[in-house]
Amino acid sequence: MKYLNPGNYFMTKSMSWDIKSSKLNNKKLVIEDYWHTKKFLTFYYFLFSQSEALTTDETYLRIAAIFDDYINSLPSKLKKKAEDYFFLRDIKTFKNFIRWKHFVSNNINFTSSKQEYNYYLLAKKLYFVYLMNIGGQSGIKKYILKDLVENGVTFEGIGIEFYNNDPFPNKIDITDKSFENNINDDSTSNIINNGTNLVAEINDVTAPIRNFRRLYTIYGLFYESKLVNIEAFSLTKIGKSLLRSNFLETTLIMEHQKIKMISQPPTIEISQVNETQPFFIELNPYLKLLKYLDINKSVNHEEYQYKLSRNVSLNEDLTRLKGIITEFKRRRDKEPEDFTKELSKYLGGLTNPSVPEFNILEVDKKVYRVKNEEKLVEYLKILKYYRRKKDPKLKKYIGRYKEILLNNTLKNYYNLSVWYNYISDFDIYILTRLVLFAELYTEKLSISLIRSKYPLLYSLIKDHISNEKLEKLIALSFDKDVNLDQAISENFISEEKDIKETTINIVFKNELIKVSDENFNQRTSPRAHISYIKKYFISNKFSKCDCCGQYSFIKENGERYFEFHHLVPISEQGQDHINNLFGICANCHRKFHYARKSDREILYEKIDGNNNLGLTIEERFQHLMKLELGVMSLDFLLTEKAITQDEHENILTSVI
């Protein structure tokens, strides 16, 4: 009971995963689990992560193809509704649709890259809420989004101007006043006539982006930089996987994230918490919730609010707990809204009859009841086994995370890098186990069925478990006497696969960059780009280390010895591309991995000037940014002092 304190409850963000409905021709369209998430991430990726993506009609058709693939994976009864939702904006034929190239002008003379970045960032936000058809329901927000944007007024036409210190004006100045005739809201007319803070109003229109992006960041779908003075987000490996996932895979990936989540992740903000009282973080909140369901067969939001979200025994009397918590002088502890949404985030994916593979529960009037006891018991095995791996990994960081949460400070890459990489990447045990769990009742399960039903997840699993061993796991999954979880762990391939040597003859630097670009993010073979730079070094008979500049020794075959180092490690979301690779001597390589941080700073200075490609770190990562570089990589480099803050911002602003 000592942890029953104000503000100490299991919480991420007071939001549901999805909006539950959308308007189509002024009619309410109820949407399914994760549809909003899929649409949000896809539009966001192409609008914000690709510098020139929406300048051509081809990109809209690529987005349409992603939506079509997802819709085709749905049960037949949902396809028409999905068509209506995903193509509410006609990105196929462009009927009554505003293209990005018609919404903004590229003929503006900016005085700095940062000014340009801020300008187009605001334009992209406004265009994004137009694409998603969210926000702008009344007042000035309706005027900006509905009466202006949807009637074809460009971003420049809305009256945005820009200055060095204050990029936006204080008043709306619409050239075409005819749109004011469409306004039925007197308060809107008054705001326009009297002037308003335009950037504040547009930011209010685009608030849904900020809110959902914050939730998705907490759950590892986005990464947000806290180290620079400009807004910087990017999709993580998990987030980008949801662009390619089909209907069933999306549910499975979201379950993967819920299993990995802890009760109060260090990236959230908690206010009005007494730092002198004991504070507790539960490492396995989803497990606790499902164990309660296994025992009691149902759960409601009050049980979650007063018992399950607190660090108290499952046997505690609910009435007693409610009495204690009601006395807390903290509004959020007592109001049900946050807890209802949090409960729905955890259990919503298990209540959908359209996904029978995970339909363990049913919900009626906010009461969740067990529908399939056998599957619940089996699902609990996954969570219980994963706890053995999860707890040791995170326990040693809990003290630091408590300090971060209680003080709302130290939210930087150095203190949170372990968490960022943990929540932003796949755990192959969980993926494999969830696939086998989903097929619990499939009598003739085979690799070919897994490959066709879970193409994305199969491609991830096969990098760690061979087909031969996967066949054995499938056979074992039908044996009730076998500990399947232990069997999966024992069948992991933990060592790196051999690098397949390229047959391409690479002599010139532009050829090297081209082949690396063409194979960027292609799942050919692990560390494939090492073979490209290795071939380039051999073809040019390079003899000096990219870092120290000293001659490397000669091997028996006459070639110089080099070890190839990812400047941003793959484990830190680094990219397998030649611009993130350096050929260095064994001594420098060991220093990068084991030297003190202060000594590594000297290595970065040397590698910036001595590398055989003749490209600075800033130049290399500007190139990667144009391809698809995660912001997390830049924060790693800045924390390591491989780049300066100005260089960090220059790389970010080079692609808007």
Query: Does 625 have pLDDT greater than 60?
Result: yes
- Answer yes or no: is 8 within a domain: no
Asked if residue 306 and residue 184 are part of one domain, the reply reads no
- Using pLDDT thresholds of 50, 70 and 90, give the confidence band for residue 495: very low
DSSP 312: S
The whole-number pLDDT of residue 526 equals: 52
Asked if residue 324 and residue 200 are part of one domain, the reply reads no
DSSP 572: G
Containing H/E element for 84? helix 76-86
Angle at 339 between CA 336 and CA 343, to 5 degrees: 135
Query: Does 546 have pLDDT greater than 90?
Result: yes
- Using pLDDT thresholds of 50, 70 and 90, give the confidence band for residue 162: very low
Q: Are 129 and 208 in contact (CB under 8 A)?
A: yes
- Cβ burial of 386 (10 Å; 0-12, 13-18, 19+) is buried
Asked if residue 370 and residue 246 are part of one domain, the reply reads yes
Containing H/E element for 531? helix 528-539
Asked if residue 268 and residue 210 are part of one domain, the reply reads no
The whole-number pLDDT of residue 198 equals: 60
- Answer yes or no: is 14 within a domain: no
Asked if residue 204 and residue 254 are part of one domain, the reply reads no
Asked if residue 93 and residue 175 are part of one domain, the reply reads yes
The whole-number pLDDT of residue 166 equals: 42
3-state secondary structure of 624: helix
- Answer yes or no: is 468 within a domain: yes
Query: Does 263 have pLDDT greater than 50?
Result: yes
Terminal CA-CA length for the chain: 52
Tens digits of per-residue pLDDT, 207-238? 889 899 999 999 999 999 988 888 889 999 99
Asked if residue 361 and residue 455 are part of one domain, the reply reads no
Higher per-residue confidence, 278 vs 635: 635
Asked if residue 187 and residue 42 are part of one domain, the reply reads yes
Q: 124's torsion region: left (phi>0), alpha (psi -120 to 50) or beta?
A: alpha
State the residue range of the domain holding 147: 21-224
Q: Which of 409, 440, 475 is the last residue of a domain?
A: 409
Please list, in sequence order, all residues whose beta carbon lies within 8 angstroms of the beta carbon of residue 624, skipping any fewer than 6 positions away. 575, 577, 579, 580, 633
Give me 55's structure tokens: 């300048």
Higher per-residue confidence, 164 vs 344: 344
pTM of the model: 0.90
The whole-number pLDDT of residue 200 equals: 67
**Alpha-carbon distance 511 to 114, whole Å?**
32
- Cβ burial of 163 (10 Å; 0-12, 13-18, 19+) is exposed
- Answer yes or no: is 199 within a domain: yes
Q: Are 34 and 254 in contact (CB under 8 A)?
A: yes
Angle in degrees, 0-180, between the axes of helices 597-610 and 586-594, rounded to the nearest 10: 140
Q: Give Cα 261 distance to the centre of its chain.
A: 14
- Answer yes or no: is 122 within a domain: yes
**Alpha-carbon distance 334 to 309, whole Å?**
12
The whole-number pLDDT of residue 527 equals: 67
Give me 160's structure tokens: 């945005």
Partnered with residue 28 across adjacent β-strands are 23
Give me 642's structure tokens: 């491989």
- Using pLDDT thresholds of 50, 70 and 90, give the confidence band for residue 39: very high
Q: What are the angstrom distances between the C-alpha of 616 and each of 93, 123, 607?
A: 44, 32, 8
Asked if residue 46 and residue 192 are part of one domain, the reply reads yes
Q: Which of 354, 379, 409 is the last residue of a domain?
A: 409
The whole-number pLDDT of residue 484 equals: 83
Query: Does 195 have pLDDT greater than 60?
Result: no
- Look at 146-160, 176-190, 630-644 and tell me which has the smallest mean pLDDT: 176-190
3-state secondary structure of 340: helix
Higher per-residue confidence, 68 vs 23: 68
> What does pLDDT average to over the chain?
85
Q: Are 525 and 502 in contact (CB under 8 A)?
A: no
Query: Does 498 have pLDDT greater than 60?
Result: no
DSSP code string of 390-456: HHHHHHTTHHHHHHHHHHT---SHHHHHHHHHHHTS--HHHHHHHHHHHTTT-TT--HHHHHHHSHH
- Using pLDDT thresholds of 50, 70 and 90, give the confidence band for residue 383: very high
Query: Does 604 have pLDDT greater than 90?
Result: yes
- Answer yes or no: is 420 within a domain: no
Q: What are the angstrom distances between the C-alpha of 515 and each of 508, 520, 537, 542, 546?
A: 11, 8, 15, 19, 21
- Answer yes or no: is 316 within a domain: yes
Higher per-residue confidence, 457 vs 330: 457
Q: Give Cα 106 distance to the centre of its chain.
A: 29
Tracing tokens 């991830």 back to the chain, one arrives at 460
Asked if residue 292 and residue 253 are part of one domain, the reply reads yes
Mean pLDDT in residue range 126-136? 86
Give me 569's structure tokens: 């490690």
Mean pLDDT in residue range 313-330? 91
**Alpha-carbon distance 37 to 24, whole Å?**
18
Q: Which of 446, 461, 490 is the last residue of a domain?
A: 490
The whole-number pLDDT of residue 7 equals: 86
Query: How many domains does the chain fold into?
Result: 4
Angle in degrees, 0-180, between the axes of helices 35-44 and 57-72, rounded to the nearest 10: 160
Tracing tokens 């991420």 back to the chain, one arrives at 12
**Alpha-carbon distance 463 to 454, whole Å?**
14
Asked if residue 114 and residue 44 are part of one domain, the reply reads yes
Asked if residue 474 and residue 571 are part of one domain, the reply reads no
- Answer yes or no: is 237 within a domain: no
Mean pLDDT in residue range 391-413? 85
**Alpha-carbon distance 450 to 428, whole Å?**
15
The whole-number pLDDT of residue 174 equals: 38
Residue from 234, 237, 209 nearest 224 by CA:
234
